[in-house]
């Protein structure tokens, strides 16, 4: 049975190098404790831009631009191998890592950011990149829309892993796309928290007959940079929790086996028995014997959507 570790610690906001150092330390700590699968929160490198929910729309545009510029400067370029320290740690420890990042596009305009989750294998290779399909509310001023090219379930030594980010998990058809690919460990890095979110993870575990890992963001006002807390209202005293985390691990069928880890930082551990996936799907397999393809069908576009296509065509 693989052991999973959910890292519920704050990043070093707007500092990619320091956050990666923290992530590498966490990988070594979790691996030392026997974890084979290590999961980080949504947009962990270099942090979820929590200030967007407190800045008034159309308010301090100069501050918004300043913070976005810092986020962009510290975002992750996969083409530039900015995740090399984390990949190397995964390879050194021979563990599988799932990590949320602010990704900077390096192929086209090089100006757009994406809310991305990457799956790193135990050899250090990036096995999948999934960009959030639908940023939520003010997130659309930060991140572009992803496509279906990363909407994949990947075989790993720990099991078949699929990921959806935060409120993507409220999209029934996105969940169905993972169920249809035989997801065993369904990972949901999220900024959401609280009873409704935890109830949703339990529903997904029951619906999909899979393990569900909700990896939450946990940090206090003091963890945010002064450029945020000094200029953006609503964060309260330094010890005030901006997000309580609520990381949780749920077994197939919906029983919570670890967490929720509320208003604390640390590492949440759980043992995952993949045999329980098959047991759960014996009575309810929504992509198998409980499906009705004669009535319902889902078509998923997994092509990479490119804004520009270049060719070698030359005029005669």
Contacts of 275 (CB under 8 A, 6+ apart): none
Q: Helices 16-32 & 84-93, crossing angle to 10 degrees?
A: 10
Peptide bond into 211 cis (omega under 30): no
Q: Which residues are catalytic?
A: 42, 132, 166
Long-range contacts: 252-256, Cβ < 8 Å, 24+?
252/205, 252/206, 252/208, 252/209, 252/210, 252/211, 252/276, 252/277, 252/279, 252/280, 252/281, 253/205, 253/206, 253/209, 253/280, 254/202, 254/203, 254/205, 254/206, 255/202, 255/205, 256/198, 256/202
Q: How many CB atoms are closer than 10 A to CB 191?
A: 22
The C-alpha angle with vertex 188 and arms to 185 and 191, in degrees rounded to 5, equals 160
Contact 172, 189 (CB under 8 A): no
Closest CA relative to residue 92, chosen from 120, 123, 127: 123
**3-state DSSP assignment of residue 122:** coil
Tokens of 286: 């929504």
d(CA 268, CA 226): 29
**E-assigned strands of the chain?**
3-8, 37-39, 96-104, 113-120, 126-131, 154-156, 159-163, 185-190, 211-216, 218-220, 241-250, 256-262, 266-271
């Amino acid at each position: 049975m693989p052991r999973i570790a959910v890292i519920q610690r704050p990043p070093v906001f707007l500092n990619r190098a320091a956050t990666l150092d923290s992530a590498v330390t966490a990988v070594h700590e979790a691996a030392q404790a026997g974890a084979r699968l290590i999961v980080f929160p949504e947009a962990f490198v270099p942090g979820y831009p929590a200030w967007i929910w407190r800045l008034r729309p159309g308010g301090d545009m100069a501050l918004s631009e300043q913070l976005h510029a810092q986020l962009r400067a510290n975002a992750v370029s996969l083409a530039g191998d900015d995740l090399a320290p984390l990949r190397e740690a995964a390879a050194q420890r021979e563990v599988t890592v799932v990590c949320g990042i602010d990704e900077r596009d390096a192929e086209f305009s090089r100006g757009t950011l994406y809310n991305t989750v990457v799956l790193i294998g135990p050899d250090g290779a990036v096995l999948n990149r999934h960009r959030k399909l639908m940023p939520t509310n003010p997130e659309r001023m930060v991140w572009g829309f992803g496509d279906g090219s990363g909407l994949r379930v990947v075989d790993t030594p720990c099991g078949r892993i699929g990921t959806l980010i935060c409120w993507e998990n409220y999209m029934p058809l996105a969940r169905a796309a993972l169920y249809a690919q035989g997801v065993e460990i369904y990972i949901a890095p999220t900024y959401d928290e609280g009873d409704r979110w935890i109830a949703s993870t339990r529903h997904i575990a029951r619906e999909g007959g899979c393990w569900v890992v909700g990896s939450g963001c946990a940090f206090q006002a003091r963890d945010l940079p002064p450029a945020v807390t000094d200029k953006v209202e609503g964060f309260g005293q330094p010890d005030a929790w901006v997000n309580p985390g609520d990381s949780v691990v749920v077994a197939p069928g919906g029983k919570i086996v670890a967490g929720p880890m509320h208003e604390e930082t640390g590492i949440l551990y759980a043992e995952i028995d993949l045999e329980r996936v098959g047991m759960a799907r014996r009575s309810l397999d929504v992509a198998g014997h409980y499906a009705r393809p004669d009535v319902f069908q889902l078509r998923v576009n997994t092509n990479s959507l490119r804004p520009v296509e270049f060719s070698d065509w030359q005029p005669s």
